[in-house]
Structure 1
Amino acid sequence: MTTVEFSGIVDLPPPAQPEAPSIPISEPIITGNHRFFPPPPPRTIVKSSLPQFSSGWTVFQNLYFSNGTFFIVKDQDQGGFGEGYWPERRLITSTGLPGLAGNEAEREPGLKEMEVIDIEEAKRIWEDRVFDVGGFSVLVNDPTQFLRHYYHVAAELFFATERVITNFDPMPAPDGTINAPNPNRMIFIHCDEEGFSDGPGLDHFFLAAQFPSMTPLFQPSWERMAQQVEASRRVFRFPGALFVDRSAAFRGGPTGSTSRTPASPWQAGGGSFGTGGLGRNQFWYESARRRVLSFAGVSKDILDIGLRAMDPPLATGKPDRPVITYISRQRTSRKLREEDHESLVDALQEMCLRHNWEFQLMVGETMPRDEQLLWAARTTVMVGVHGNGLTHQLMMPPHPRSAILEMYRPPNFAKDYEWTAGVLGHAYYTIHNDTFWTPPKLADINYDDWNTDKVKSIPVYAPNVVEIIEQQLLGENQGPKHWQSWREDVGY
């Protein structure tokens, strides 16, 4: 008798399976920043491109960094710096030194700061040692010099970054909706966290409020990151990057003529002087304004004040009565004569009582930050001595009769808040005691008494201020005066 050995493994043919239906392969859904900066093939060298450029504000697709240098990878048709496709190197970057009179040569960039190389050369050097810093990065090449100052951070660096972002959207919406990239990180190449800290803490507040999904990396973190590709054949790639450089901005026409770094991306977005408050520019900043104010706890009802004032209204509800906010600087070194301050408060209160308007006396040193921004969000006309507090105009609603009244000791004048008011669509007035200036006629730039004791007793004639406000709110409404009487000799 034959014994059959059983191994425990039965090799039987598999049962017949029904044929699976064919499923069509659909294209992947591209969302978020990938719509604007499609991820390149991993570990593969691809050429760089230039989605948007204005002096000092350069948007790159596929910017490379290795051994302390940023690299642009070009194909044979693009050429080098200043040869057609790529702008001059000095209009993109600098050595990152502070902007001081007399050190212009030291700030001029060279091969160490940024270089253009052929794609074949890049493949030879890096091969497949390419590591992506995914998403959209903002690379700030500015020194600490201006980053301790609320105005320069909120009304220049973040203001212009917002303009670059909204330039991707042909028509920002009145409710703040935009179709634009959202920065994943902001890297401060030459500034540590202390260097980014202003006294009231508004720099860090705006960083979190305006860009809540953006991670900041300050100089020490950047240097540690850069060490990973130091003295090596590895390279970091930024699929999407906004490269910011203050010195480069000042070398270009728009900033060179206005002394305002946001002027470059403003013009790139169709903001030549005379277009503020019209078309795509009317609500370009509204998304940022609403993000910051929502972070501060401001209600939607207050956010919509400007929309209810439009003709026709763009939000439901009755129009709100005008709010006049006087920002007092009497506790600072640059302030009104005490008797003129008291006369101005009395005159503004009496005017508001007579017209059933609301008056707010803001003393920033005694108020929580969120409350200051709430008051600014309700303001129709803002009055103040030249100073940091006027940066709060960023939070004023896009109101058809909004205005900024800035008081100086005659003959002092600077364009900081005048230019900012213009691109926000606010009318603007310079107050020199009993006279005033408004575009297209501006006072001459003058800093003679800027740092002297004379600015501790600035004169102002209160009836002059009242007359301007009444004309602004009760006179014929022709829109922001800043944008109507443009002529070339104003100096923009």
Structure 2
Amino acid sequence: MGSGSSSPVKSDYSPPISFHSQGPTEYIGGVPGYTVLDNVWYNNKKFYFIGDDHGHIPNNERLFTASTGWGDGTKDVVTFESKKDGPDVEGGGGITEINGTTIFLNDGWPGSWSGYFMYYHFASEIILGSYSVLSSIHKPLPSDLKKPWNIYKGLGRRLALQESNQLPLVSSANKVDVGLANRILFAWEWNWDGKDGLSRAVSEGLVGKDGIIDPAGWREMTNTNRWIYFERLLLTDRETAHRNNPLSQVWYKMALDAYKLAPSPNSLASVREKFLNYYDIPIQTRHRAGKSIGNKVKVVYADRQGSDRKFPDKTHQELLKHLKRIEEQGKAVIIDAKLENIDLRGQFELFSDADIMFGVHGNGLTHEMWMPTGGIVIECFPKTTFAYDYAPISAVLGHQHLIWREDGEFPPEDWKPQNGGNGNALHDGTRFPLNVEVFSEWLESKIDGML
């Protein structure tokens, strides 16, 4: 069973029912692929909008991508239907109430690609995109509004007769932060945690172990005729994002339009703080963007020499010698971080107080999510390639993102024309050339600027 669905707490409801569903289904905000809805019901592979007027809710094309088949042999289609008078639970399997905010991941059904098993695609596209949207939502949860239950004729009395299970909030605080999620629900993707355990580690850091509902847990919750009630639902859907969002279409990155909704990098500070608190990592902040946290600049080199995407070995050794010389001057601490040799908590802690991080294009740069706002991220490419993956993460988090290609800085005005050029060089084992002397001198100037 999925951990988030184990041992649900039985709710003690008595007439008149004190149920968290406080009204009709409402569209709260977001963009296609990251849509926030309140008071949504689910039953037998269908979502239901409850109430009289759903004209303000985006149409299905902008909400969801439906599957036409399932691995268990059924041909049900997950879709949305309107239902004026609420769920008919009489004689059914009862109700499970999922309160707080749930991030519902719709990718991973047969025929779709999720990328959840890869750190970059999960952490930055799914998680950072979702939290960027949530940071723009200021409307209280329905249960916080404390409205009387009076919208459906007789529904409260009918619900009171049913067994109702409630998944508790996963929160140590009395006041729920509407910008944070209470759980992450992996509905269909059975291989979501298939690479290094990073997707699970990120999920646990943000919602706790009990806040994860995996596909086994979701199947167990929904294999009867029970109705599932979501107080607040954030629907993430890769295909929907790519179909509808202008920036996603230009750059082929699903989260770019979602990032734009974050009011400022500071609006995402609570996400980083909650994550680091979970792993008992001290929270460091910088007093001023572009300046070091301490008396020395902490530089982390994300070393990929154990992979196929790397500098030539001779170039790498020369780079290490230059980095040591810079460090010996006493103005920087430079760490050669072979991440495959560091446990996950150690990786998160390593970047939690970094001022500058650099390395060749790759998953390790996703760790900029845990670096204090206002740092510098340096991404290295061969001259013939560029991919707009980590630069937008830096933008939403308030870091300066710099691209270095062999012997010079690659200016932002050239990013769009060359995006995706010769992409094979990122995957075919091509070594990344680097003019070590020129790069080291340039890196030293960036260090000096942070002091």
The TM tier, using the shorter chain, reads: 0.7 to 0.9
Q: Secondary structure at the match of 1:284?
A: helix
**Structure 1 residues 74-223: aligned runs within 5 Å:** 74-76=51-53, 78-79=54-55, 85-96=56-67, 112-120=77-85, 122=86, 131-136=95-100, 137-143=102-108, 145-168=114-137, 179-180=177-178, 182-192=180-190, 195-212=191-208, 214-223=210-219
The answer on 1:411 being equivalent to 2:384 is yes
The answer on 1:378 being equivalent to 2:349 is no
Structure 1 residue 397, shift from structure 2 partner:
1.1
Name the counterpart of 1:58.
Answer: 35
The answer on 1:469 being equivalent to 2:449 is no
Name the counterpart of 2:246.
Answer: 253
Give the Cα–Cα distance (whole angstroms) in 1 for the partners of residues 280 and 442 of structure 2: 32
**Structure 1 residues 243-282: aligned runs within 5 Å:** 243-251=235-243, 252-270=245-263, 281-282=264-265
Give the Cα–Cα distance (whole angstroms) in 2 for the partners of residues 156 and 364 of structure 1: 21
Q: Which runs of 5+ in 2 are unaligned?
A: 1-16, 70-74, 140-174
Give the Cα–Cα distance (whole angstroms) in 2 for the partners of residues 476 and 183 of structure 1: 34
**Structure 1 residues 381-460: aligned runs within 5 Å:** 381-399=356-374, 402-442=375-415, 444-446=418-420, 448=422, 450=424, 455-460=429-434
**Two-structure CA RMSD over aligned residues (Å):** 3.3
Query: After superposition, what is the alpha-carbon deviation per residue over 1:221-266, rounded to whole angstroms, capped at 9, x for unaligned?
Result: 222322222xxxx633212211111111112223223433332332
Name the counterpart of 1:296.
Answer: 279
Structure 1 residue 75, shift from structure 2 partner:
1.4
Structure 1 residue 134, shift from structure 2 partner:
3.0
Question: Are the structure 2 counterparts of residues 116 and 41 from structure 1 closer, same or farther at C-alpha, using a change threshold of 3 Å?
Answer: farther
CA contact (8 A) 2:61 2:240 kept: yes
Name the counterpart of 1:237.
Answer: 229
- With the length of structure 2 as denominator, give the TM-score of the two structures: 0.76
One-letter amino acid matched to 2:47: F
Name the counterpart of 1:73.
Answer: 50
Q: Percent identity?
A: 19
Query: After superposition, what is the alpha-carbon deviation per residue over 1:292-321, rounded to whole angstroms, capped at 9, x for unaligned?
Result: 22333322xxx22423x46999xxxx8432
Name the counterpart of 1:174.
Answer: none
Higher relative contact order (CA closer than 8 Å, sequence separation 6+) = 2
Question: Are the structure 2 counterparts of residues 343 and 282 from structure 1 closer, same or farther at C-alpha, using a change threshold of 3 Å?
Answer: same
CA contact (8 A) 2:41 2:48 kept: yes
Name the counterpart of 2:25.
Answer: 48
Structure 1 residue 389, shift from structure 2 partner:
0.8
CA contact (8 A) 2:131 2:179 kept: no
One-letter amino acid matched to 1:366: N
Structure 1 residue 213, shift from structure 2 partner:
6.9
Name the counterpart of 2:296.
Answer: 321
Query: After superposition, what is the alpha-carbon deviation per residue over 1:46-88, rounded to whole angstroms, capped at 9, x for unaligned?
Result: 4211112311111111111122111122414x33xxxxx1212
Q: Which has the larger radius of gyration?
A: 1
Aligned length: 388
Q: Which runs of 5+ in 1 are unaligned?
A: 1-39, 80-84, 99-109, 171-176, 271-280, 478-492
Give the Cα–Cα distance (whole angstroms) in 2 for the partners of residues 380 and 253 of structure 1: 33
Give the Cα–Cα distance (whole angstroms) in 2 for the partners of residues 288 and 374 of structure 1: 15
Query: After superposition, what is the alpha-carbon deviation per residue over 1:110-157, rounded to whole angstroms, capped at 9, x for unaligned?
Result: 99432342514x46x557967252312221101163011111111121
Give the Cα–Cα distance (whole angstroms) in 2 for the partners of residues 96 and 257 of structure 1: 25
Give the Cα–Cα distance (whole angstroms) in 1 for the partners of residues 179 and 396 of structure 2: 21
